[in-house]
Amino acid sequence: MSRASKLTLGATSLFALSTIVFVHFQQQAEQAAMHQGVVRDMEQQRIKRERQLDFDLQKQLEEEYKREQSVRSSIDPPGQGGSTAPR
Q: What is the pLDDT of residue 74?
A: 75
| Mean pLDDT value across the chain | 88
Q: Which residues contact 83 (CB under 8 A, 6 or more apart)?
A: 70, 72
Question: 55-74: per-residue pLDDT in tens?
Answer: 999 999 999 988 888 756 67
Is residue 85 within 8 Å of residue 76, measured between CB atoms? no
Higher pLDDT, 83 or 6: 6
pLDDT for 79 beyond 70: no
Q: What is the pLDDT of residue 83?
A: 54
